Amino acid sequence: MNNIIFSRAPVRICDIGGWTDTWFYPKGAVFNISIDLFSHIRIVPNNTNKIVIISENLNIQTQIQDPSKIKYNGKLDLLKAAVKKIGVEKGINIYIRADVPPGCGTGTSASVAVALIAALAQFSHENLTQGEIAKIAHELEIDELKLESGVQDQYAAAFGGINFMEIDYPSVNISQIEIADDKICELENQLILVHLSSRSSNEMHKAVIQNYQNNEESTINSLEIMKNCAYEMVTAIKSKDLGLMGKIMNENWEAQKNLHPLMINPLIKKAEQIAHTYGAIGFKMNGAGGGGSATILAEIGSDYKLKKKIIESGFQILPIKLNFKGVQVWSAELND
């Protein structure tokens, strides 16, 4: 009888203050919201010495013959790094799938890493806290794979909830914001998650970092505005003023656009125009920007017609339900 390990970790939207959670920016701040769109992991013993990683969404797989001799080649490298970090020695099949399209800008890669680390830890009988899981997930990207990575996504995936994070990179002081049930219902009704396109943010990261290091005034000012927006959003979400939330989203997005011209393209302009024409009071591209997905805040009573127009315009709407549990792990027995 084999014991199968399952795990899932949420993604996040509406990351106000994003870009200030990175190594090049001192003492940043981020607000974000975790939602019930997950990265899913399933670990199945395979009675061999091989570790097989299968991406069910992408229909690709890779094998690890010896975890101590893992080579990174651009094929499911983040998952390989997690296997190496936890030190799995038994033969297993690792299945992964995600509820959001790739390159969505909702922190999916961090969500995948968090879910896999949590599952591998349980498989290896290792106890890790949510904070430890988030820290390891971030270290995989920056230390093991040498990638650009902020820290907000890993903590949102591990903890869930509505989060405010003060960041002294790579340290994170996370505070979870509690709101009333009726406010949760209001947000789930008025927030709209729109998928525009898949995108890679590598080129944009390099461009913005270069601007910052060159002391470009518009980049420095924009990052300061975005950081301040994160603090302001804590007050806004606790209030009954939905318009204040929308105002801060718009302010953050305007500052984000000023980081670099790569931040905007015709598809984003189209989505933003539709949103504000048909009743949006807030708009922000998720993640780095430049593509992926947008969080839109609809005015009370405008959500239906706005969603209808978004779909008619060829965009995809993804469901929003707030997540307050973070990463979850469970097991089931499968008869041989």
Beta strands 92-98 and 316-318 are unpaired
Instruction: Encode pLDDT of 215-250 as tens digits.
Output: 999 999 999 999 999 999 999 999 989 999 999 999
Residue 88 pLDDT > 60, yes or no? yes
- CATH code for the domain in which residue 74 is found: 3.30.230.10
% of the chain surpassing 90 pLDDT: 86
Instruction: Encode pLDDT of 247-295 as tens digits.
Output: 999 999 999 999 988 899 999 999 999 999 999 999 999 999 999 999 9
131 with 20, same domain: the answer is yes
Residue 54 pLDDT > 90, yes or no? yes
**CA-CA distances (angstroms) from residue 256 to 62, 182, 322, 323?**
37, 31, 24, 26
Which residue range forms the structural domain that includes residue 202?
181-318
Q: Determine the pLDDT at residue 1.
A: 53
Q: Determine the pLDDT at residue 336.
A: 58
**CA-CA distances (angstroms) from residue 243 to 190, 281, 283?**
11, 7, 12
229 with 162, same domain: the answer is no
Task: Return phi, psi of residue 265, to 5°.
Answer: -150, 175
- CATH code for the domain in which residue 311 is found: 3.30.70.890
**Rounded Cα gap, residues 278 and 293, in angstroms:** 18
Q: For 300-318, b where at least 16 C-beta lie within 10 A, e where not — what string?
A: eeebeebbebbeeeebebb
Q: Give pTM, 2 decimals.
A: 0.96
Q: What is the mean pLDDT of residues 122-139?
A: 96
Selected residue with higher pLDDT from 327 and 49: 327
**Rounded Cα gap, residues 136 and 117, in angstroms:** 8
239 with 109, same domain: the answer is no
Q: Determine the pLDDT at residue 203.
A: 81
**Lookup result for tokens 């944009």:** 204
Which of 67-71, 96-100, 239-243 is predicted least confidently? 67-71
